[in-house]
Amino acid sequence: MISITTVILAAGKSTRFKATSSKLVYPLCGLPIISHVYSVAKKISGKKVIVVCNKENINELKSILKDCVFVIQNQQRGTADAIEQAKNKINSKNILVLFGDTPLITLSSIKKLIKKFISSKAKASLIAFRTQKPFGYGRLLTKNNVLEEIIEEINLNIYQKKINLCNSGILVAEKKTLFDNTKNIKINRIKKERYLPDIFKIFHSNKFNTNYIECNEDEMLGINTLEDYNKVQSILQKKYIDKFIKIGVNFLKPNTCYLSYDTKIEQNVIIESNVTIKEKTIIKKDSIIKSNSYLEGVTIGEKCNIGPSARIRPNSIIDKNSKVGNFVEIKNSKIGKKVSIAHLSYVGDADVGNNVNIGAGTITCNYDGNKKSKTKIKSNVFIGSNTSLVAPLTINESSVIGAGSVITKNVGKRSLALTRSLQTEKKNYKRKK
């Protein structure tokens, strides 16, 4: 691979996105939009990535992108002007131009572009795509497969509007030749901006070698509006789900589920409808995640049964052959093997051993209003329904906690602990009206 600096254009104002912050930091499948682009750029250029931003979004972008060089485009004067802001920061012979709001671009397409650029000894190579709805895109004018010019949508005549070969804006170019000629890019008379794609007309008139490759239309989708955002997210979700289906994960209603970019699911897992799987989640083989469950930052062991309507929060581990059932919430806890927490319980900041049964309505009272404390439940313990375990607390091996108890002291091995008062009954009781 040749030495190449990637420049990510990210100076847009996000006006049409209608968000209070930059659209580029908006989460897309668990990653900021621009991070999807950066992950590709980093694999091409390593630490030689430059981000052209504006005064309003620079701090937001700096907080999420590391090992980048940032330059500011003070005024919105078009993509040619944006590239020129980065000129003095580029030390490589060649430059790759990407867009911060085009997160579906793949590494394989960029490698294909660079390969074409190198093999043809071109001064510039472009990614193009074909679409049945070309409105809004610049069009490629070609003759005998030679790229002669790119015309912006606003400048197209009635015949050119029928062209379906469109400009993605993504290109690779020889640095010196590019910047020797960007000064010749004129201001668009309608938009009052200078567009980088105009460089191809200049190169053609100088008889410089230029060319293009064609890629999938979906990869070129930019995010300008919330409608675009939802469309891109749907494409990414289908991509993630299809990947897991191919290795043997069964999604009963795939269109209703959400996966994060880093989700890991092993073979023979069943995912039912309306399941949300957020970042840093691992689900091991032969487990089932039932409808309406929400998993975030957790590891689910082999042959586990989760849900329906379970919520498992970050830093939780569920070991193999365990059950977490209806409306159970688990947070920052380690659950051992063959544990049953069947329904309507809260387990937070707890270590639970093996072969433990936790009855319905059990609560680990982990927060006293000042600090959080740990509950330890050792192996072979039975917790009766509607029990409150007031941390810090240890329930030792093979103990039984009677239903309805409030346990505030450690319980020894093979003990029965209960705090219920004796039931009283008043005969012939009449309620006050």
Residues 153 and 28 in one domain: yes
Identify whether 308 is preceded by a cis peptide bond (ω within 30 of 0): yes
User: Nearest CA to 170 among 80, 96, 224, 69?
Assistant: 96
The active-site residue out of 201, 331, 343, 378 is 343
Crossing angle (nearest 10°) for helices 107-119 and 33-45: 40
95, 216: one domain: yes
Output phi, psi for 418, to 5 deg. Answer: -155, 150
- Among the residues of 308-413, which ranges form H helices? none
171 and 253 assigned to the same domain:
no
How buried is residue 189: exposed, middle or buried, by Cβ count under 10 Å (0-12/13-18/19+)? exposed
Q: Assess if residue 428 is contained within a domain.
A: no
Tally the residues of the chain: 433
Residue 64 sits in which domain range?
4-220
State the distance between the two ends of the chain, measured CA to CA, in whole angstroms.
Answer: 88
Here the CATH number for the domain that contains residue 187 is 3.90.550.10
Tell me: do 278 and 193 sit in the same domain: no
d(CA 371, CA 382) in angstroms, rounded, equals 27
What integer pLDDT is reported at residue 265 of this predicted model? 98
Residues 155 and 258 in one domain: no
Is 427 domain-assigned?
Answer: no
What is the block-wise mean pLDDT of the chain (433 residues), using blocks of 10 residues? Answer: 91 85 94 97 95 95 94 92 95 96 97 96 96 91 89 90 94 97 91 92 95 95 94 96 97 97 98 98 98 98 98 98 97 98 96 98 92 96 97 97 95 94 84 74
Q: What is the pLDDT of residue 1?
A: 62
Residues 257 and 189 in one domain: no
254 in a domain, yes or no? yes
Are 230 and 110 in the same domain?
no
Q: Dihedral of the CA atoms 177, 182, 184, 190 (nearest 10)? A: 150
Domain-embedded: residue 430: no
Q: Would strands 124-130 and 165-174 be described as parallel, antiparallel, or unpaired?
A: antiparallel
Quick check: is 307 in a domain?
A: yes
Under a CB-based contact definition with an 8 Å cutoff, are residues 285 and 265 in contact? no
Let me know how many helices (H) and strands (E) the chain has, helices first: 7, 38
Report the number of distinct structural domains present in the chain: 2
Dig out the tokens for 308 from the structure: 């329906």
What one-character-per-residue DSSP string does 28-43 give? ETTEEHHHHHHHHHHH
Give the separation between CA 401 and CA 385, rounded to whole angstroms.
9
Q: What single DSSP character describes residue 226?
A: H
Annotation marks residue 343 as catalytic: yes
In a shared domain, residues 98 and 243: no
